Chain A
Amino acid sequence: MTQGLESDAGLRAWLTQRAGLWQGIEAQLAKLTRGRRHTVDEANAAVAGYRALAHDLSMARRVLPDSRVTRYLESSYWRAHSLLTRPAHRFVSDLAKILREDVPAITRELRGAIFAVTALFVLSAAAGASLVHRYPELASLFLSEEAINDVETGKLWTEGILNVFPPAYVSIQIFTNNIVVALTAALFGVIFGLGTFYFMVLNGLLLGGVFAFTAQHGLGMRLFEFVSAHGPVELTTICLAGAVGVSIGESLIRPRLATRLASFQSAVARGSQYLAMCVLLLIVCGLIEGHISPDPSYPLWSRLVIGWSWWFVAMCVVTGRIWRQPAVTPSRSTPAAAP
């Protein structure tokens, strides 16, 4: 086959003849790359083009090694290869699968880590509260000077926030901050879990310290009122993200797969599905915190109802109970299936 191509004239003729074909294949691949719904004929044409490129690349490597033609063909061949072997796009069904199957399964896998992180957070909060209760001056470690002055004059820093910024802006700012906090709690697990450990301890100390300081100045109930609508899910989600961090750290300390890298990648892939769910929960928490929490027209009972109802729904999503079908019991009136 390559005999005719060894002469310059044969090679020129071959290149001139094939250049038109490559142009056609390139246009076809570009069209297939852009769109997502293709006919069987288009798919068959792409496979034929891929085989033609493989043939020409093989030829070019023999007669024109290290040439621009060969590099161009290698690039086109790789593109065709990637296009034909790429997984199908099923965004909605993939997302549904993550929420229905993967998230509950990951919750079961991370059960131990979730309990451990939650316990760590609660203990740190208790320690923070105890420290500030005994040494009030430590509040300066957790709160800005302005916030401390506000509390000492009987005013919470959260009051009147809607007079300064619109609820939508407050919501965006809050859920962005919460998402960064959750991601940090999870990603810092890469330091063999230690990053997550310190992060959860720090946040627990901060929460406990702030509550103790406001309680000392008679504002504890008002702060509780402020956080009761969004707090339950927000704090739970931070603990769930922390559990992802623990699993990432554990994948590096005790790899379950052949290599540490493979184990790390697997933990991150599973964890990222869980974090996607955490982000969705935190966006709703941000909306509540921006629209309901600072609004004094909502009484405490309504905040508690909103907060714990949302927490119940969130836990049903996390555990998969929301998707679980009731067990089907065969009815006596139902005719037996035909053999």
Chain B
Amino acid sequence: MDATEIDEGLRIRSVTGVDFTLPVAGVGGRSFAFVIDLHIRAIAAATWLLVAQVIVTAVAAGSGSTAIMWTAVPAGAIYFLYHPIVELIMGGRTPGKRIAGIRVVMRDGSPPGAGPILVRNVFRLVDSLPFAYAVGLIACFTTDRQVRIGDMAAGTLLIYDDAPTREAVTALVAQGTAAGLSAPQAELVDDLLTRWEALGPGHRLHLARQMILQFEPGATLENSGTIGEHDALRRLSALLRPSAPAAPA
């Protein structure tokens, strides 16, 4: 695969002539994913430890060495082998990376094989030094692709992979079609409704009035000034889902 590193991300050239760009994930996304994964593996290891301890105590009457074999060893394996094994199974992702919307890829944009995944995880020994992944964090802050030493060694990097799902796209297309809106118009309305709570009251009302004026049949400039918050929300929801009941305030 032919790939070029540009400011916006990693540009991949394909044989069809339709190139595409993969946005490179930063330290924030990386750290967020790590913290989630840290909790998942700690909880999984602790759960195994507790459950196995109860079972071993009941079955083997608490024999010390057998108990360690069935409790501490697998728990340690869960905690320390979580990253390489889960990344291998999920093709460069972990639950934490999935939640953070990021994915490990090779520098040419291809999915990583077993070798690079093992190398980038083995290098955690170096990246985690001297504490709290200090070496890895410094490497991320100082490299142009925001990669830690493990990624440099394995030739991998992290990209954002949080594209909308097909369900979201087809549902929006269907909604827009049913309401007589085009796909971009439906997307605009849907975006405003999704971000409604995050926007300031003045801004969202201003945007809502403009959309109602543009997209709602029969809406006039004279009436738009009197539209309140609750009314705007109801009318926007009706625009997108004509058959649905009015949205709650």
Contact = CB atoms under 8 A, between A and B. Distances in A.
A68 B168 CA distance: 9
Contacts of A16: 173-174, 177
A184 B153 contact: no
A78 B23 CA distance: 12
Nearest to B22: A78
Interface in B3-39: 12, 14, 16-18, 20, 22
A204 B16 CA distance: 58
Interface residues of A, number: 51
Contacts of A165: 65, 68
Contact of A268 (B14, B153, B161): B153
Interface in A40-93: 50-51, 54, 57-58, 64, 67-69, 71-72, 74-78, 81-82, 85-87, 91
Contacts of B111: 82, 86
Contact of B110 (A57, A85, A164): A85
A33 B92 CA distance: 13
A280 interface: no
Interface stretch (A7-15, A113-121, A132-140, A326-334): A7-15
A183 B109 contact: no
Contacts of A8: 181-182, 185
B173 A72 contact: no
Interface of B: 1, 12, 14, 16-18, 20, 22, 65-66, 68-69, 73, 91, 105, 109-111, 113-115, 118-119, 122-123, 125-126, 149, 152-155, 161, 163-166, 168-170, 172-174, 176-177, 181-185, 187
22 contacts: A16-B177, A50-B16, A57-B20, A68-B169, A72-B169, A74-B20, A81-B20, A81-B109, A82-B105, A82-B109, A85-B1, A86-B110, A91-B114, A169-B73, A172-B73, A183-B122, A184-B125, A187-B126, A264-B152, A265-B155, A268-B154, A272-B115
Given A26-B166, A75-B161, 7 more contacts: A54-B17, A68-B172, A72-B169, A74-B20, A76-B166, A81-B14, A265-B154
Chain A interface SS verdict (over half): helix
A72 B166 contact: yes
B173 A169 contact: no
Which among B110, B172, B174, B183 has the highest number of chain A CB atoms within 10 Å? B183
A178 to B, nearest CB: 14
Which 7 A/B pairs are nearest by Cβ-Cβ distance? A75-B163, A54-B16, A8-B182, A268-B153, A54-B18, A19-B170, A15-B173
Interface in A264-313: 264-265, 268-269, 272, 275
Interface of A: 8, 11-12, 15-16, 19, 22-23, 26, 33, 50-51, 54, 57-58, 64, 67-69, 71-72, 74-78, 81-82, 85-87, 91, 164-166, 168-169, 172, 180, 183-184, 187-188, 190, 261, 264-265, 268-269, 272, 275
Contacts of B126: 187-188, 190
A202 to B, nearest CB: 16
A69 B115 contact: no
Which among B1, B18, B166, B184 has the highest number of chain A CB atoms within 10 Å? B18
A67 B184 contact: yes
Which among A19, A50, A71 has the highest number of chain B CB atoms within 10 Å? A19
Contact of B20 (A77, A180, A184, A268): A77
A216 B220 CA distance: 101
Given A85-B1, A86-B110, A169-B73, A74 B163 contact: yes
Contact of A72 (B65, B164, B182): B164
A49 to B, nearest CB: 12
